Structure 1
């Protein structure tokens, strides 16, 4: 498995350098044509490359959707993930919350708990700021309106001055052995700083994001972490994560989950 992942990374590096032909890739890596074709098919299945006649090219990044448009996609799955993630938080924890619609759903389930919250998630600030039980710390920085979050050097500096018991990350895609993908390096840089400051790391990702590699910026996860996903994830999607040392997979129950109040309702 490790050798295959290393070979696939080498294939991507060769394609970036201009080598797109199957025969040339096989020659450069000293493997059979059938091995290269299988590798390219796996990379194509995860969206990293697009197969062409006789080879492959890197896929173009997918357009990034706004937070408001993502809030209504896979809503039941996100609610189930949020409900399960909330059970992993203990009263009194210092919790670091990333941006994203699934993390927002988690935040709405934590708003009445006695917690210390650190976040760059602007959508949740009005909710937490009203609660006496929440000790709220906001990471300042450059505002990225499409994801309703703060990023950049100021946010990274602030998070490095803090520690957290638990970190809950969102992502545009999660690939076993590669990590999380996002639209910009700015997003990845802040997530990396968050990971370094947290005792436990949780990634909240519904089934549609598992194996999804359509964005160009990557955060490798080299420390123990937990994937929290929904019951729609197939075993073929989960098996690569289960095989990784240091990765725990939590699947939210398929039972109907009572939705948390919406952000608008929470502000009323």
Structure 2
């Protein structure tokens, strides 16, 4: 059992993974639910957290990491996810590719295949432009330097005129019942449209992001979708995704 304010840093660490409920926290720390409510009320009064119905979340999203930082994170896991996702494609599938480092790792593996590709992922343009068998459509719009992707009304207007067999997307986190989180509403507006314009949705996400809600803008997922994650994903993480409609593929398992 942890006591008084000694619990506060541990509570904040638990909340960094996303929204949690009072009963779960009480069980974790071996105290009563009323004690946890008092702790949360104290943190809320300090504007460190925000209370929700039955629980709490971090008041302010975590700072976004830069694209080079994200590219350096979980490299082996992203490579395995990319390889597993490539096996899900049919020849000549029309693909929408989201921004982000995991989707970029997947996109790099498309060279030598036959696919029409629609993307806002700017690092992929130099990789895929002119590759035999591929046709590339780039969604214009405002450039978001943090992710080196386009977004906004121009990108959305272009995408509304296009459809695809599969949308391959990612995000800063996934929570069942909410979907994929990102830092900016413009990001999730375009991501949601990618999901709407595709026949199937494939989410590429390493296991560290599953169940994590570090940003405040959300893109809901369809009733049926596919999650490709790494072999480190726990049974609980996979079960949560499956309960939210996912077919789970664990790369390398």
**Unpaired segments ≥5 residues, structure 1:** 1-35, 43-49, 255-268
Map Cα deviations across residues 83-128 of structure 1 (whole Å, 9 max, x no partner): 0001111221101100111100000111211110100000000111
Rounded to whole Å, the distance in 2 between the matches of 1:72 and 1:217 is: 24
Three-state SS of the structure 2 residue aligned to 1:71 is helix
2:124 aligns with: 124
Rounded to whole Å, the distance in 2 between the matches of 1:112 and 1:62 is: 38
Rounded to whole Å, the distance in 2 between the matches of 1:150 and 1:209 is: 23
2:205 aligns with: 205
2:22 aligns with: 37
Deviation of 1:243 (Å): 2.2
After superposition, the CA RMSD in angstroms is 2.0
Deviation of 1:64 (Å): 0.6
Q: What is the TM-score with the length of structure 2 in the denominator?
A: 0.79
Deviation of 1:223 (Å): 2.9
Deviation of 1:130 (Å): 2.5
1:187 aligns with: 187
- Displaced runs of 4 or more, over 6 A: none
1:97 aligns with: 97
Q: What is the TM-score with the length of structure 1 in the denominator?
A: 0.75
Alignment of 1:137-156 (within 5 A): 137-156=137-156
**Unpaired segments ≥5 residues, structure 2:** 1-20, 28-35, 51-57
Three-state SS of the structure 2 residue aligned to 1:113 is coil
2:108 aligns with: 108
Deviation of 1:132 (Å): 2.7
Rounded to whole Å, the distance in 2 between the matches of 1:123 and 1:70 is: 13
**Contact 1:40–1:51 (CA under 8 A) maintained in structure 2:** no
Structure 1 residues 236, 143: closer, same or farther in 2, change over 3 A?
same
Rounded to whole Å, the distance in 2 between the matches of 1:51 and 1:219 is: 30
Rounded to whole Å, the distance in 1 between the matches of 2:231 and 2:70 is: 19
Three-state SS of the structure 1 residue aligned to 2:72 is coil
Deviation of 1:241 (Å): 1.4
Three-state SS of the structure 1 residue aligned to 2:95 is strand
Rounded to whole Å, the distance in 2 between the matches of 1:62 and 1:176 is: 20
1:236 aligns with: 236
Deviation of 1:216 (Å): 0.7
